Amino acid sequence: MRPESPEELIYRRFLGQISSQEMMERLRSWPYTFGRIRGYDGYERGSWDDVYRLNMKGYLRDEEYAELRAITDPMPKPPDDPMPWEKGRQPQ
């Protein structure tokens, strides 16, 4: 069994299994992680990627996404790995 994710909560609300209020309460306090570029052609997804992607597909209302974005914008984001052509590159 997979651990619960923001993606699952959003889909469960869409299917009517949970209310919008319950979904938002849980998403407001979610310990979000953020994606980052890993190496030349890799991307390591974070839990915020689920919210962003499902918002783009229309599963969240604009005001829901704006509220979640306001919560996550000040959170620290991991740095991307430097690209091979960048001077002094040292993979993390």
Q: Is the dihedral of CA 62, 15, 8, 23 positive or negative?
A: positive
Query: pTM of the prediction?
Result: 0.81
Per-residue confidence in pLDDT tens, the chain, 92 aa: 778 999 999 999 999 999 999 999 999 999 999 998 887 778 889 999 999 999 999 999 999 999 999 999 999 988 877 766 666 655 55
The tokens of 64 are what?
Answer: 């829901």
d(CA 47, CA 55): 13
- Which pLDDT belongs to residue 78? 85
